[in-house]
Amino acid sequence: MGTSATRSYTLTASLICANMLELGEEIKRLEKGGIESLHFDVMDALFVPRYGLHPEMLAEIRSITSLPIHVHAMVEDIEPYIETFVKAGATTIMPHVESHRHLHRALKKIRDAGANAGAALNLATPLNVLDYVLDDIQVVMLMAINPGIVGHKLIPRVLDKISDLKKKFAGRAIEIEIDGGVTPESAPEMVRRGATRLVCGSSTIFKQGENVAERIKDLQETIDANLK
C-alpha cells in the first residue's frame, strides 16, 4: 500500500459536493481522512448552467484549515476577481481557456497576486492551446465530463487526452488534474495514464450516510492495488 509520500497522485475534495449544512465538520473529517487539498468550484451561471461557491465562503474555509485550496473558475471572466480570491486564501486559480481571450494575461495576474496559476480545458478543447503558456502554469485540469453538473459519467476519450498531455509535459513539473468522472473504477487508469491529482466528489468520497475518512482510504487502497 502506498503512502502520501510515495504515491504518484494526490486526492482533492470537491467542496461543492459536501454537506453545506455542516461544512466545517466535513472539512475536519476530510483532514482526518488524509485528503491533500480542497477543490473550490466557482460558477457564474453563464459559462456553466449553475451557480457555485463564492470568495466569502473561501475566506471562512481558510480560517479553519491550512490545506491548499484550488479554485476552479468556471466563469466568463475571472480577472476582476483574482485578487479577491487570493486574499480570501486561494492557493491556486485555474481559469478555463475557453472563456479567456487573453489567457496569458490572466495567468500572469494570478501569479502576480501570489497564487499558483493553472488552466482548465473542456474535453473538446485541443491541447495545443497550451503551447505558449507552458512556462506560466503549475497545473492543467482536464474536464472528464461537461462542466457545471455534478454526477455526470466519465467521457472515456479523456483517457487518451491524459496520455497525450503527459507526453506534452515530459520534463516539466506540471500537475495533471482530472475533474469529473473520477470513480473507484476509473481512477486507477487515470493515474496510470499520467494524472497526478484527482477531484473527488459524489462518486467517490461524498456518499450520504457514509464516513468520508473511510471513503478516502478505500479509494486510495483501490487505486494503489490496481497500480501494482
Catalytic residues: 41, 179
Specify the 3-state DSSP secondary structure of 180.
Answer: coil
Among candidate residues 129, 157, 133, 132, the one with its CA nearest the CA of residue 143: 157
3-state helix, strand, coil in the chain (%, to 5): 40, 20, 40
Torsion sign, CA atoms 210, 214, 218, 219: positive
Question: Whole-angstrom Cα distance, residue 143 to residue 149?
Answer: 11
Strand pairing report for 139-143 and 197-200: unpaired
Q: Which 8-state DSSP code applies to residue 173?
A: -
CA atoms within 13 A on the CB side of 20: 8
Question: Whole-angstrom Cα distance, residue 201 to residue 14?
Answer: 5
Specify the 3-state DSSP secondary structure of 172.
Answer: coil
167: enclosing H helix or E strand: helix 158-168
